[in-house]
Amino acid sequence: MRNILPFLAALVIAGALSSGCASAEKKLGRGMSNMTEFARLGELRRSMEQTAFFDQPGGHYATGFIQGFTKSLARTGVGVYEVVTAPFPPYDPVFTDYLSPNPVYPDSYRPGIIDDAMFATDDNMGFSGGDIAPYIPASRFKVFDTH
């Protein structure tokens, strides 16, 4: 009787972890993506661009920077919250009235697949095309950019 309790506990834990985890995985992935906002600087670049185009042409650097910085702080905080609460419901995005659920980029940049050996389809040349350094702000260099 003593040996069956650890087995049943392991069986219950394995069953709980292997069934119905798709929503928790999405929440965890969304949270990890949001936590790395300051490495990506998407909100900062987008708010500076949008402020320069639509609000005021003279003070877009300062105003856009402050708006982007506060949105980056909010997105990072939401990311920490989603990572910590990933195993628990609700699994829907939170704080969507201020932030979009997915990461944002400036309208002048469209992210693509990173040029890496994992995504490379041409084994003979060693590279196949894609973003070279998308994590560096203002990096727009792509291998074999045809658009």
Q: Which two tokens stand for residue 105?
A: 């980029």
Can you give the pLDDT at residue 84?
92
Provide φ and ψ at 142, rounded to 5°.
-130, 145
The torsion angle over the Cα atoms of residues 145, 117, 139 and 110, rounded to 10 degrees, is 60
Can you give the pLDDT at residue 124?
60
Query: How far apart, in Å, are the Cα atoms of 12 and each of 6, 18, 85, 89?
Result: 10, 10, 21, 19
The answer to whether 94 and 78 are in contact (CB under 8 A) is: yes
Measured between alpha carbons, how far is 67 from 46 in angstroms, rounded to an integer? 10
- The angle, 0 to 180 degrees and rounded to 10, between the axes of the packed helices 22-35 and 60-84 is 140
Can you give the pLDDT at residue 119?
64
The answer to whether 84 and 24 are in contact (CB under 8 A) is: no
pLDDT in tens, 68-104: 999 999 999 999 999 999 888 888 888 888 888 888 8
pLDDT in tens, 113-133: 666 666 666 556 555 566 666
Per-residue b/e over 11-33, b at no fewer than 16 CB within 10 Å? eeeeeeeeeeeeebebbbebbeb
Measured between alpha carbons, how far is 69 from 61 in angstroms, rounded to an integer? 12
The answer to whether 114 and 131 are in contact (CB under 8 A) is: yes
Measured between alpha carbons, how far is 97 from 117 in angstroms, rounded to an integer? 39
Query: Does pTM top 0.85 for this prediction?
Result: no
More confident residue, 18 or 48: 48
